[in-house]
Structure 1
Amino acid sequence: MDDFLTPVATFRRNAGSGELQLVQEVKGKSKPQLKSPTQPEDALEILRHEPEYDSLITALRYLSPSSQQPDAAGFDIRKPSPLSAQLVQVLASDIVPNYWAILKEDSAEDKRSGLALLLACLQSITGINAVLARMRATIQEIRSEQTRKEKRPDLTLNLGILVDLLHQLIRADDRVAQIWKSTTSGLESRGRLRPLEQELVTVFGGGRIVSLVAEAEDLLRAEKSKGGPRETWLGDSLRYTNWIGDNIINGQASESGPEKSKFFSALFAKALSLGHPESLIRHLLERLLLNSGPQSDVFGGLLDGLSPTEQRKVLFSVLKILSSDHLDRLGLCDSSQSQESISAVAAVISSTTSQSQTRKGHLLEWLTSSSGAGVGEGVGIRRAVLAVVSQDRESIVEVLEKSVAQFGDQLYIKHSPMLQQEAHAQVLLLSAGYVHRISPLKLTMLMRTSPWLNAISNRLAASHQRARFLGMIVGEGLSSLVHEGDKRLDFHMPETDSDEGKWYKGLVQTSDKIGSLSILLKPGETTPIKSKPKPKQATKRAAPQQPKTGFIIEELSDEEMDDVVPYGKPDSDEEDSDEDPTLVQRNKPKAPVYVRDLIRYLRDTENYEHQRLALTTAPTLIRRKANYGTEVAEHAEELASLLIGLQNKYDIDNFDDLKLQGTIAIVVAQPKAMAPWFAKTFFDGDYSISQRVSVLITLGLGGRELAGIETSDYAAAASFPSKHLPEQVERLYIDADPSRSQASSGSSLKPLPPNALDNMARSLTKDMLAPMAAAAADSATGPDVLKLSTFTSRLNDKDHQSKVKVKSRARPRIRSIPNTTAQLIATGFFSPLTARFQAALHSSASRARGIIFQPYLLALYLKTLALLLHAAGPSTLALPDMTAELWGLLLSTSVRAQAVDDLGVTQSLLFGLLAILDVNEDRMRDLCREMGKEMVETQEWVSGVFGRLRGGDSGGDEDQVKMLAAGVLVRLNEGMEKYRLLMVGDLIGYR
């Protein structure tokens, strides 16, 4: 046992010393617990040494600006200084993590509570920055801890506390104004004031707060921290943007002053980069101009502090918001209500621009620029803007002169989107009417000048049919103002005498005035007056009458019981099978039978049964109500918006297909109104990539169904029973058709595949290439065999190949459809998609430009256009215009640049070219004469694509693309060899 203890050292002590103590108490420096600090340094010393709660409250009360002590009048913790920075750092790093739970028990509304005192000390730019810096450091520590096995639980707790603290600091709608005032009060030097304002603008107007809070909440959700707060609005960029808007409004309206106006204008300009500029501008517009007490001077003051470029951006956004919210739904604006709405919108525009010559110049630019005039918007916004501009004689004359010069420019006629040319034609006609009413002689002299004569001549010589139509309409419209009798210009064309032509020519007689804002003002919340209920008249209950014959209970014998047929057992109910009887739902909602009920079900996102019934009923109900009443016409846009934005919250079976079938039903029911609306939604709507894909599929399938190529099973399911005999009677007269009976009952409706458009494109590709494959197989020698050998073996349909070989090149022609339907596809489906795409290409600031060039979305967009062109068919009167628009779009530099790096875009581009050549097979002579340059350019580009691809991957994507390239080359070579002489003159100087 003695070996277990080994001496390490030996100590000796003097005899005079005391006893050796094993434990000795070491006295250190005690914590200072000052009850009443007299200087800021004393408060800092207290906060650094883990004070008691009473000492903490005493220090906070001393530092708080709301209860500042007389002896501390020279110090303000909110002003930037070295000492205030140390105090704020101690509060954010030490006091908040340790004392937050205790302080949170106090009410922040009580200015004497500990929480209110702490918030008052941190409500400054220094305090906000300290909290954000501490939050960023904590996030970095948590991310570094994720790779370790042992984790610190206090990090997520502290992060949740910091998020809660930041929310408490800035949740008020006037917090930015308070912080600006407290930070800049007493500073007269502009050199010291400007850096502080820039720091405030960067912190609140930038995305630092939103990004840090969103990242923190994401970590808290991942860690499943119980100590962290619930998600706040600080991590939602849209709600944060609205909060910034409220602070700008309250700060700008509270006090006046040039310095304060400049600060909030700078904050407004910075907040526009948060990702929701239109939401911020709409919020300010509704709060400052479209309420019961308009504050146009406040809104104008905000715009005055912006640079001219930023003012232009905001003004154009205001015009777009006013159009989409108040005027687009009016259509052609030919009613009395439209007149009042346009006058009210003109009043809003006038109040925004009346005090600034810069903004008036921006209005003129909006009307006359090559990318302006509200392309894609209704005519109402152009009428409202011209009503404002017409108040100045020189301005309206300038608009007319620039419009005439632009209208007749040959490059403009050839290359500008037709949607844009239509908007500028409306501006020209409207401005001409105002000039004629102000100064008739000025319009007469203008129509004798060379720009006007050249404009009409160039329009009539244009190759595009729509361009010629606009030229004739403008010529007749302006001539009706100046000339009389036989001198009036009249082309005697049916297009100019149509309803559309008469509407265009009627614009010269339109005169709008600046009205009142009362129509647009949002009504205040009023408490409805409850009428006294009428006293119910006492009604005597009738005494129950005894039955004339009583019930007779009769006992039956066994022999008689054999003749009694017992009741059958009821069918089992799935809901009754639940073990818990409280979960059985007895009051099942019924399927909607009216469109208003369908809308109510779609809006009820918290009810599973309503969502399921709405989705399953929508395709049939919309088709059934399409031609009966006006329910679908009045609510089509609302239905489409609800269906597009609907989310699969309850994992409903076939959710995407049901939603898609509903939108297709809307397009088929109201094609003239809804097809352009879907095209506008695809480019301008705030939707995800998948939702935009559904919009394209809706337009593609809807157009083909209208053309009679693809027939939906829901069309038969939606027919009214009055159009069919009862099923039992129908069997006696008509042979049983299982497919028809199943379609009519709706029991065998099959969902569309996710790649429905891709499958259609693949099927059409096989049909278009099959004759060439058969001809190549019949040829014994020649270069065509070498070129087509790679894709003739890819046509796997042997039966189809054998049929084609027998027919050789006698391919069945594309089915012709009535010109009315073909024209509807051209004007309602095809043209809006191409025109908005070209407008997005010409506008560098367009948000749609970044969206459309997403590879998969661009590929699907090109396939949709090709399918719509094929659906219109060769009998379409607008086929030359559609061909020119699609061919120019496919050969644009931007599209071909995307095709270089993405095989899917290349395949879609080649499919579009093949569809053009297939539909125009009988117009090859006209193509060679009118579009020789495009054909040569296409041949060179496709040859390069064919040479770059290797192929031979057994039916893979690259092999399919090479097959398409070979098909396009063969079609082009056939036409160019046959009509080579027609192309010689057009191609001189091409190189």
Structure 2
Amino acid sequence: MDGLLTPVSVIRTEGRKTGFNPIQELDTGTSEKTRPKSQPSLPLSPEDALHLLRNEPGYDPLVATLKFLARDQPQDPAAFNIRRPGPLSAQLVQVLVSEIVPSYWALLKEDTNGRKTSGLSLLLSCLRSIAGVNAVLARLKASTQETKSEPAGKGKRPDLSINIGALLDLLCELLAGDSCIMDAWGLASAGQDSRPRLRSLSQELLAIFGSGRIVSITAEADIISAKENTKRATVDTWPADGLKYTKWLARNIVRGQLSDPAEEQTKLFSDLFVKALRLGHPDTLVKDVMSKILLSEGADSQRFGLLLDSMPQMDQRKVLFSVLKVFSDEYLNRLGLCESEQSKTTIAASAGAIQSLVRTSETRRNHLVEWLASSSGAGLGEGIGIRRAVLAVVSQDKDSVINVLEKSINQLGDQLYIKHSPILQQEAHVQVLLLSAGYVSRISLIKLTILLRTSIWLNAISNRLAASHQRARFLGMVVGEALSGLVNKDDKKLDFHMEETKLGEGRWYKELVEVFDRVGPMNPLLKPQVSTPALKKTASAAPAKRPSAARPPQQGFIIEELSGEEADVVPYVKPDSDSEDSDDDATLVRRDKPKAPVYVRDLIRYLRDTESYDHQKLALTTAPTLTRRKANYGTEVAEHAEELASLLVGLQDKFEIDNFDDLKLQGMIAIVVARPETMGSWFSKTFFDGDYSVSQRASVLIVLGLSARELAGLETSEYAAAASFPSKALPERVERLYTGSGPRNNELASGSSLKPLPPNALDNMARSITSDILTPMAASAADAATGPDVLKLSTFTSRLEGAQQQSGSSNPKIKTKARPRPRVRAIPNTTAQLLSTAFFSPLTARFQAALHSPASRIRGIVFQPHLLALYLKTLALVLHAAGPSTLALPQMTAELWGLLLGTGVRAHAVGDLGVTQAVLFALLALLDVNGDRMRDVCQDMGKEVVETQEWVAGAFAGLRGGDGGGEEEQVKMLAAGVLVRLREGVEKYRLLMVGDLIGYG
């Protein structure tokens, strides 16, 4: 072993202090002329520090060098500062990131103890600059690329993953705090008087912090590091999360804007705001910035206005619309119909906040007019509160409110708008029209009178009354009576003598012309700023203890031995052994197991406790039954439904609980069934607006589809019987006398029973409905066919039978004898109307709003193939559950048919069997529900029928089939069924379609 090591040189260590470790001392190579002998390891200049860092210094010399570089610099701009841009500072930063951090990061982390003189604090002080963050990102990207370029067959270098982990930790430490960006800009711009130089520095800062570069590089590096190092999987690398990074940017923007900035700094943070809006979370960014700058006690509303003034016009519009959405979600939607006095106060405060943003800007006021009167505006799906607040601001200018009224009247009578716009959109615009008419009547009654005598107004009412949809006619009648009552006397007022316009909702609509909201102070919306010490003092204050009541002294023996005469006393029975006590190790026995929650607030508390397995499992298993049991008893579910639903939607399977997905879905279904009027639209809004993954959005669609079928009576959940109170259920023996069987054996009397839900629950349900519709058609075609025809339906029976056997369907085999087609179950109109207003309309309306939304992220999510197919199947299931007795069936048919033919749905169906199957299934459900009104469909939607027939025929011809009952074969059979139904309608009602089809093609 001695021969393996050959000494290169010998260094004498005479005169050293006792205990000195010679291994830690390195020769820096500095000449004796430039360095005193008394301090051999301390740099005297930045060049000295650079030379020392490049020669692998010991830990003590490294700390001394970092202390020299991080020392407080005088105000003289000519003095060297490593945090200022310069060639020498760039070299020092590069050496620190590429050489010092990989070698000494572990030691630097051990030396951190909160002191400013610790090694880690000194290193972070040297690198907290634009150049420092940029160097870390460049090094992190290079290490990531080097790791990805390594050959798969060879062993990977372990140092790369370690270095990536060290750089990720360093980046998290550098970006920590709310003043990181402001401090970096202050150091970079200190002493810079040249505007081109300041502009160059601001562009560099925006490119680093506002372009999403940090998120993309950090996310990729974090994934690679977590694969190579299991310890990294539990580390929170927050810059890799787009939402957390956006919140961090919001806090930095707030700190920079509230620090009384100069003009250049205001422009910088305004540009950073614009950049951050494009990172994918604009509403979160606007909400966080607005809550701190505009809606905090002592805040100056002009600071938020300064941010808007420095933005381009289109970005001002985007921010203003996001502000309106935040006000609606946070304050106004919870007010409902806004009939209480508290609602007026909240609306006035919201109007005051919006007015502080608009101020004297004519451009931003025009943006509000556009939001109210545009064909896709006015807050689709939002409550009336936000429209009242915006109109209170717009009414401050006479010309603006008159402009809103004129545009609303023109839009009211547009035939294309009446026919193709979602009914939720029309309701919102009718509310705007009525509110603006009330303001105009108070400002200038003569102007309103002139408007109601024009041909535009008369045509609008005529077109509304001639509409095929009952809801569109109702809105036209309400508007006509309300506006006529403002300008005409009692004997000349328009009156349709309809009960629906005089009671309930019709009366509420007509009373909107009397609403007058003022612009008030923002005090009801302000959030108090509680200081941290006061908060701690309040939290630590112990509640006063009640004096305990004095206990009487115990008398007699505590333990008394019985004599033989009392042997006839029966002793207590020995308790049965507890299964939990059977373990040999007493330390494993648990006595603190939580009990199942009995209140909804306890259920919410259990769901929030993501660190407890017992709480999570108890909450999931109890949620379906508890929610259903409490639905009609008290107000617990009504008050906490949205909070409970949001917790369930975002819940993650952290502990790998059995049947986690099924229990989660059943809990959400129970909430929708308990509160269908509100939670149906809430889940629809969550699907489009919530910040959730594709799988979570898919679960929302599954919940809506299954809930609709259960409300329609087509499904029966096993939790429904378990949730009923004993007073509502007969004893099992008595119930058997009426039903002829046990309670569990006859659950399928009104529908099937919901078993544990598979991941493809909607697909199975769609397949079952398709089979029920196509089986009679195939049997009739097999009997009637005497030879080969175009669709070859003589072989359709055997194909369908093979597909059913392969998919495990329990439907009966197709017989040669034709069976009568099963009729769609007719359910009460109340439930059908509920499915239309709370489930179907919100889904279709928000889909169209998402298509016209400027945020491309929403369109990308909606048109994801799997999600789009599931969305179309959900709409079809809701329509099928509503049934043919739905009063809104014509409007629902028109909306779904137009959605299938337009909006790019057919384009996404090309080359994707899943989307094609979903489109064909939706068409089949449409034709099945409208089977008894096919004449009206062909008369009102002739072009759509012919266009659909041509598209389905092309899809049928493009499918090969013949794959033994595979997916393509099933899609081809589905296309054949749709094509047969369409051709039956076209052949039967061809004469009705002739006039509508003139010029088609």
Task: Work out whether the TM-score is over 0.5.
Answer: yes
Q: What's 1:91 paired with?
A: 96
Secondary structure, aligned partner of 1:711: strand
3-state SS in 2 of match to 1:513? coil
Q: Which residue of 2 aligns with 1:917?
A: 927
Unaligned runs of 5+ in 2: 1-5, 12-25
Q: How far did 1:257 drift?
A: 1.6
Note the alpha carbon deviations across 1:916-973, whole angstroms, 9 max, x for none.
2222222122122111111111111111111111211121111111111111121122
Partner of 2:55: 49
Stretch of structure 1 that moved more, 91-100 or 659-668? 91-100
CA contact (8 A) 2:380 2:845 kept: no
* Range with greater deviation from structure 2 (56-65 or 816-825): 56-65
Deviations 1:408-457 (A, max 9, x none): 22222222222211111111111111111222222112211222222212
User: Is the CA contact (8 Å cut-off) linking 1:272 and 1:280 kept in structure 2?
Assistant: yes
Matched-pair contact (CA < 8 Å) for 2:715–2:754: no
Q: How does 1:311-330 map to 2 (within 5 A)?
A: 311-330=316-335
Name the SS of the counterpart of 2:792 in structure 1.
Answer: helix
Range with greater deviation from structure 2 (974-983 or 777-786) = 777-786
- Cα deviation code 1:498-526 (max 9, x no counterpart): 41111111111111112232222223445
Q: Quick check: 351-360 or 164-173, which moved more?
A: 164-173
How far is the alpha carbon of 1:215 from its aligned partner?
A: 3.1
Per-residue deviation, 1:115: 4.5
1:948 pairs with 2:954? no
Please tell me whether residue 694 in structure 1 is matched to residue 699 in structure 2: yes
Distance across 2 between alignment mates of 1:910 and 1:778: 25
Name the residue aligned to 1:66.
72
| Contact 2:624–2:666 under 8 Å retained in 1 | yes
1:544 aligns to 2:555 (yes or no): yes
TM-score (norm 1): 0.90
1:17 corresponds in structure 2 to none
Give yes or no for contact 2:775–2:814 (8 Å, CA) kept in 1.
no
Deviation at 1:345, TM superposition (A): 1.3
Report how far residue 296 of structure 1 moved.
1.4
Alignment partners' CA distance in 2, 1:546 and 1:143: 81
Change (3 A) 1:729 1:519: same
Three-state SS of the structure 2 residue aligned to 1:722 is helix
Find the partner of 1:640 among 640, 645, 656: 645
Looking at structure 2, the residues matched to 227 and 463 of structure 1 have their Cα atoms a distance apart, in angstroms, of: 62
| Cα separation, 2, equivalents of 1:396 and 1:285 | 26
Alignment-derived partner of residue 585 in structure 2: 580
Displacement of 1:569 after TM fit? Answer: 7.9
- Among the aligned pairs, what percent are the same residue? 64
The CA deviation at 1:374 is 0.9
Corresponding letter in the other structure for 2:438: G
Amino acid at match of 1:539: A
Q: 1:394 to 1:824 in 2, by over 3 A?
A: same
AA in 2 matched with 1:49? N
Counterpart residue number, 1:12: none
Greater CA deviation, 115-124 or 435-444?
A: 115-124
User: 2:979 maps to what in 1?
Assistant: 969
Tell me how far apart the structure 1 counterparts of residues 714 and 64 of structure 2 sit (CA, whole Å): 82
Q: Deviations over 1:327-375 (max 9, x none)?
A: 1122212222221221121121111111432222211111111221111
Within the candidate set 892, 910, 927, 1:900 is matched to 910
| Aligned partner (choices 811, 835, 847) of residue 845 of structure 2 | 835
Residue of structure 2 equivalent to 1:598: 603
Q: Structure 2 CA distance, aligned partners of 1:546 and 1:114?
A: 70
Deviates more, 1:152-161 or 1:767-776: 152-161
Query: What do residues 759-791 of structure 1 show as CA deviations (whole Å, max 9, x unaligned)?
Result: 222222122122222222222525558531342
Aligned match of 1:15: none
Matched letter for residue 406 of structure 2 = E
> Secondary structure of 1:32's partner?
coil
Residue 29 of structure 2 is matched in structure 1 by 31
Gap change, CA 1:104 and 1:396, over 3 Å in 2: same
Write the letter of the residue equivalent to 1:279. Answer: T
**Residues 387-410 of structure 1, C-alpha deviations (whole Å, 9 max, x = no match):** 111111121111111111222222
Residue type matched to 2:935 in 1? Answer: R
- Distance in 2, matches of 1:731 and 1:79, equals 86
Question: Residue 185 of structure 2: SS of its match in structure 1?
Answer: helix
Q: 1:609 to 1:84 in 2, by over 3 A?
A: closer
**Cα distance in 2 between the residues matched to 1:474 and 1:165:** 63
- For residues 234 and 658 of structure 2, the distance between their equivalents in structure 1, rounded to whole angstroms, comes to 35
Further displaced range: 523-532 or 72-81: 523-532
Q: For 2:739 and 2:272, locate their aligned partners in 1 and report how far apart those are by CA, in whole Å.
A: 75
1:737 is matched by which residue type in structure 2? G
Q: Is 1:270 paired with 2:268?
A: no
Aligned AA (2:544) = P
1:223 corresponds to which letter in structure 2?
E
Shift of 1:591: 1.9
Match of 1:960 among 930, 946, 970: 970
Q: How does 1:701-780 map to 2 (within 5 A)?
A: 701-727=706-732, 735-737=740-742, 739-740=744-745, 750-780=755-785
2:938 is matched with 928
Q: Relative to structure 2, which stretch is displaced further, 631-640 or 129-138?
A: 129-138
Comparing 735-744 and 978-987, the one that deviates more: 735-744
- Choose from 383, 404, 426 the match for 2:431: 426
Q: Distance in 2 between matches of 1:698 and 1:603?
A: 21
1:790/1:963 contact within 8 Å kept: no
Matches within 5 A, 1:819-898: 819-845=829-855, 847-898=857-908
Give a deviation string over 1:522-556, Cα, whole Å, max 9, x none.
23445549687366265241433579998444699
Map 1:396-435 → 2, pairs under 5 A: 396-435=401-440
Distance 1:68 1:693, change over 3 A: same
Report SS of the residue matched to 1:793. helix
Partners of 2:143 and 2:160 within 8 A in 1: yes
Q: Is the 8 A contact 1:281 1:317 kept in 2?
A: yes
- For 1:370-519, what aligned pairs fall within 5 Å after superposition? 370-519=375-524
Alignment of 1:233-312 (within 5 A): 233-312=238-317
Instruction: After superposition, give the CA deviation of every residue in 1:35-85 in whole Å (9 maximum; x if it has no partner).
Output: 565654344334333445665555545544614599x94433333333332
CA 1:773–1:82 in 2, change beyond 3 Å: closer, same or farther?
same
- 1:787 equivalent to 2:797? Answer no
Q: Please state if 1:624 is matched with 2:635.
A: no
1:32 and 1:49 in contact (8 A); partners too:
no
Task: Specify the SS of the correspondent of 1:508.
Answer: helix
| Separation in structure 1 between the aligned mates of residue 756 and residue 285 of structure 2, nearest angstrom | 41
Given the superposition, is the C-alpha separation of residues 972 and 553 from structure 1 closer, same or farther in structure 2, using an over 3 Å criterion? same
| Corresponding position: 1:978 with 2:978 | no
Question: CA-to-partner distance for each residue in 1:85-143, whole Å, 9 max, x for gaps?
Answer: 22322333334444445555655865555554443333322222222222223333344
The AA in structure 2 aligned to 1:855 is P
Bigger radius of gyration among the two: 1
1:381 Cα deviation (Å)?
0.7
Aligned to 2:17: none
State TM-score, norm by structure 2. Answer: 0.89
Counterpart of 2:955, as a letter, is V
| CA distance, structure 2, for counterparts of residue 610 and residue 387 of structure 1 | 48
Match of 1:810 among 814, 820, 823: 820
Tell me if structure 2 keeps the 8 A contact 1:601–1:610: yes
1-side partners of 2:352 and 2:666: how far apart?
Answer: 42
Deviation of the 1:735 alpha carbon? 4.7
1:888 counterpart letter in structure 2: G
Structure 2 Cα separation of the partners of residues 244 and 893 of structure 1: 35
1:211 Cα deviation after fit? 2.8
Paired residues of 1:160 and 1:228 also in contact (CA < 8 A): no
Farther-moved stretch of structure 1 (526-535 vs 975-984) = 526-535
Residues 113 and 656 from structure 1, CA distance in 2 versus in 1: closer, same or farther, beyond 3 angstroms?
A: closer
Residue identity opposite 2:914 in structure 1? G
Rounded to whole Å, the distance in 2 between the matches of 1:817 and 1:484 is: 44
Give the aligned CA root-mean-square deviation in angstroms. Answer: 3.3
Distance of aligned partners of 1:24 and 1:444 in 2 relative to their CA distance in 1, 3 Å threshold: closer
2 CA distance for matches of 1:157 and 1:101?
10
2:207 aligned partner = 202
Q: Provide closer, same or farther for how the CA distance between residues 967 and 178 of structure 1 changes in structure 2, counting only shifts above 3 A.
A: same
Query: Alignment partner for residue 613 of structure 1, among 618, 623, 639?
Result: 618
Residues 83, 844 of structure 1: alpha-carbon distance in 2 compared, 3 angstrom cutoff = closer
